[in-house]
Structure 1
Amino acid sequence: MACHRIEELIELLEPAWDKEQDLSLLQFLQKLGTEAGFNGELNELSDEILIYHLKMRNSDKCEAIPGIKKDYEDDFKTALLKARGIIK
């Protein structure tokens, strides 16, 4: 895992875990994994799952994922033309 991802994960994890101080770190990570729909072993829980879940945890279920949001277009025709490079 790259250093910037560790920093991002800690930055997101700290305020969320602060709200549930009664849980140990492993219990809290397991809870996050379960909330995100992860059913595997805790050692298989990836940092990507944790980062995106922590970013999206308190947002509306219909809100776009942060990495995809920058490319979102309301109009299908505009999205198609941009994807084909016809318009910028």
Structure 2
Amino acid sequence: MNQHRINELLDLLKSDWLQDSDLNLLEFITKLSQEAGYKDDLAKLTDDVLIYHLKMRNSDSKEQIPGLKKDHEEDFKTAILKARGIIS
């Protein structure tokens, strides 16, 4: 994991973990994984799951994921033309 992602994860963890400061780190990560619906072994939990869950944790359930929001097109025809490189 590169330094940018480590810093991003630590910043996101810090702000939310302070609200649950009675939990140790492993308990807090377990809580986050359960909230995100992660059911696999905790050792296989990726930083992406934590980062996106922490980003979206306090947002409206209908809000788009930040990484997908930038590519969203309301009009299907426009999306197809952009994907084919006909318009920019």
**Interval of TM-score (by shorter of Structure 1 and Structure 2):** over 0.9
Distance 2:69 2:84 in 1: 18
Distance 1:24 1:62 in 2: 31
Does 1:46 find its partner at 2:46?
A: yes
Give the match for residue 23 of structure 1. Answer: 23
User: Which string of whole-angstrom CA distances, capped at 9 and with x for unpartnered residues, describes residues 37-62 of structure 1?
Assistant: 10112211110100010011111122
Once the two structures are aligned, what percentage of the paired residues are identical? 60
User: Which string of whole-angstrom CA distances, capped at 9 and with x for unpartnered residues, describes residues 12-35 of structure 1?
Assistant: 000100001111110000010011
Give the match for residue 83 of structure 1. Answer: 83
Distance 1:25 1:31 in 2: 10
Task: Give the unaligned 5+ runs of structure 2.
Answer: none
Output the TM-score relative to the length of structure 1: 0.94
Give the match for residue 72 of structure 1. Answer: 72
The runs of at least 4 consecutive aligned structure 1 residues that moved more than 3 Å come to none
Give the match for residue 5 of structure 1. Answer: 5
- The count of residues paired between Structure 1 and Structure 2 equals 88
Alpha-carbon RMSD: 0.8
Shift of 1:3: 1.2
